[in-house]
Amino acid sequence: MAHAVEAVVVSAMRTGAHTIWTAIACTLALAPACVSAEEGFDTEHIFGFMIGSDVGNPGERELQSQTTGRFGKGAGTYRAISQEVEIEIVPLPNFRIEVGGTTTMHDITGVPDINDRRQLNFQGASLDLRYRLLERENAPFGLTVATETHGDRIDEISGAKGRMYGTDFTLAFDRELIPNFVIGALNLIYQPEWARFEVTGLSEKSSTIGAAFAGMVRVRPNFLLGGEMRYFRQYEGIGLGEFAGQALFVGPTAYFQISERSRLTLSWSMQAWGRSAGSAANLDLVNFERHQARLVFGVNF
């Protein structure tokens, strides 16, 4: 039975991005065009790898499914897909709480410094807290501070077992550049992480800082199209110690309001430039992946 499940998982992972894009194109074509957009933007969910300053209205509850794929290392075959299910609530004005659990699949063969493995495991849980400090309607831009804390038993990169803890700190800015037509967003990111691996007993500490920019255009009342550009620098130690590598990701993002209560976001990024410490290569495939993709479906209840 275990081998059968593994075969299905690996087969699904090898389907690739073409199937995902085809499914989304069909959804966009078949969904009703009569869904009307509210005045202005709600930036809570329109971005793929980034976040906006909106946090929802008091009393809102949402169920969200987020699928993230990471593909390609320096050599061999590398595919890692995580599936996170989250529940979001807005108990107070300008304050949002999100609790989630994640399952990961890994298909790794012949990648330097990472053991070969094909597996499906429950990875861990996360708690995401967001507080909006400024509203776009009453300030030059929207501003939200977000902290997402996670505790894992599986390393998201290598798939190795252990204990992993980390927190993602984000400052999210956004502003309507053309009212009800173009929105821009900026994220400033700091991600300290600590890990202890089960087999080797080794402990590792790392930290990542980054800046990301996104722009979205309202193509139709229920359809936004744009792109995201994200730059990261990774260091050893949680206090930005020795430099390990850097990478720049760019790619398109699409947001579709399926109905009054449901939504879909699709984002894909390619590493356009990067460099690991001590390397002259134009990509950092040691600390980062070649491609990243994300599919998010959410529904209010």
Instruction: In whole angstroms, give the CA distance from residue 184 to residue 112.
Output: 39
Residue 6 has pLDDT above 60, yes or no: no
How many CB atoms neighbour CB 251 within 10 A? Answer: 20
> How sure is the predictor about 39, in pLDDT bands with cuts at 50, 70 and 90?
low
> How sure is the predictor about 20, in pLDDT bands with cuts at 50, 70 and 90?
very low
Instruction: In whole angstroms, give the CA distance from residue 35 to residue 261.
Output: 11
Q: What's the pTM?
A: 0.88
User: Residue 176's beta-bridge partner residues?
Assistant: 183
pLDDT at 4: 45
pLDDT at 231: 98
What residue has token string 């593994």? 6
CATH of residue 199: 2.40.160.40
Q: In this structure, are residues 82 and 134 in contact, taking their beta carbons and an 8 Å threshold?
A: no
Of residues 40 and 85, the one with the higher pLDDT is 85
pLDDT at 30: 43
Q: pLDDT of 207-250, one tens digit each?
A: 999 999 999 999 999 999 999 999 999 999 999 999 999 999 99
Give percent of the chain above pLDDT 90.
85
> How sure is the predictor about 74, in pLDDT bands with cuts at 50, 70 and 90?
confident
CB neighbour list of residue 183: distance below 8 Å, 6 or more residues apart: 41, 43, 46, 174, 175, 176, 177, 215, 216
Q: What is the mean pLDDT of the chain?
A: 90
Give the chain's length: 301
Q: pLDDT of 43-72, one tens digit each?
A: 999 999 999 999 999 999 999 999 999 999
Q: Note down the domain range covering 29.
A: 2-300
Number of domains in the chain: 1
> How sure is the predictor about 84, in pLDDT bands with cuts at 50, 70 and 90?
very high
Q: pLDDT of 275-292, one tens digit each?
A: 999 998 999 999 999 999
pLDDT at 35: 40
Q: What are phi and psi of 206, to 5 degrees?
A: -150, 165
**Of the given ranges (10-19, 79-88, 139-148), which has the lowest mean pLDDT?**
10-19
What's the average model confidence in pLDDT over 82-98? Answer: 98
